[in-house]
Structure 1
Amino acid sequence: MSRSFEIVTESAASVDQIHAAFVREDYWRDRVAGDGSSTLDSLRVDADGVVDVQITQHLGRQILPALVANFVPGDLKLVYRETWRPTGDGTVRGQSRVLASGGLGSTRAENWLTPTGAASQLRATGKVEVKIPLVGGKLEKSIGSSLEASIPATLRYTTRWIAEHT
């Protein structure tokens, strides 16, 4: 079973400013720098401004609940992939996906950055799926709640980063 989510948050930065940050390697390096367990694996930007980034987060077994650790054959690794593409109408459309090692679950989302005057709005809709018997539903709910906090926090980080780097 999976759990759906929808998150809407706003930024004082414009869509163009946010997209301009997304094409910069220093933005992504700074974004993962505060988390010693994450690495920037790749960043590709094509001539049309399409951004494709991959980040891996290495999580030790010690942070997992005991029941969940029984299903994880080693340390847990989350591979995060994010793609952003300008649509030509002032909007930037994104897709994000997180895959947990061992096929334990995934998160996927469709994202839209749209202008709201000089500012912007981010809308993310998606699904969380955890494939662990007995606790999967509880973990999906917990991950969904975490996304409700982390997606707006990431946009706030991006807004601050833009203010400090432009």
Structure 2
Amino acid sequence: MARQIYHRSTSTFPADKVYSVLIDQDQLKARLHELGGPGAALLHYSVDGDGVRYRLQHGIDTGKLPSPVQGLAPTGLRIERTESLRPDGPGRYTGTVDVEIVGAPASMTGLLRLTDIAEGSEFVIDGTVTVKVPLIGGKMEGVVAASVQELLDAETEFTHEWLARTSP
């Protein structure tokens, strides 16, 4: 069984500007510092002719985990997230996201899309959370999906604030 995640955010800035911020190493590091939890780090960053690929590490203390998860992760969670994003035409970017909860039978995969719209740009993450635990996997998927949605909302707010601060 799997749980779908759909996250959509809009910005008054064009896709090209949002893309430049989303892939900026300083922004990624600042976002991790503020939102990434214990052990947060930019583990890998590479640029090639096709776009950008990076791997982020997030940490969550046990006390901040929902009670059904605390027993499965008595020392907290370490989450590694790999994203790629590349140009796909004027004002359009596409990519992928792969999330692994290290040491737990939980993961997420998804597609990323950033496009110009009439009033700015739209960023969409369309993903699937999977937890492979008999009997409680479905419930755990709901908990993980809700946590991912919270993080995406916080990251969107952080990115919008960064854009407002750094744009002329």
Normalised to the residue count of structure 1, the TM-score between the two structures is 0.85
* 2:25 aligned residue: 25
Instruction: Please provide the CA RMSD for this pair.
Output: 2.3
Distance 2:148 2:48 in 1: 28
* 1:97 aligned residue: 98
Matched, 1:9 2:9: yes
Matched, 1:129 2:130: yes
The answer (yes or no) to whether the contact 2:9–2:123 under 8 Å persists in 1 is yes
The answer (yes or no) to whether the contact 2:8–2:124 under 8 Å persists in 1 is yes
Corresponding pairs, count: 165
Structure 1 position 64, deviation (Å): 4.4
Distance 2:41 2:113 in 1: 25
The answer (yes or no) to whether the contact 1:95–1:108 under 8 Å persists in 2 is yes
Structure 1 position 148, deviation (Å): 3.5
The answer (yes or no) to whether the contact 2:105–2:133 under 8 Å persists in 1 is yes
* 2:45 aligned residue: 43
Structure 1 position 34, deviation (Å): 0.9
Structure 1 position 60, deviation (Å): 4.0
> Structure 1, unaligned stretches of length 5 or more?
none
Distance 1:27 1:67 in 2: 33
Distance 1:153 1:27 in 2: 14
Percent identity at matched positions? 27
Matched, 1:145 2:133: no
Distance 2:65 2:152 in 1: 22
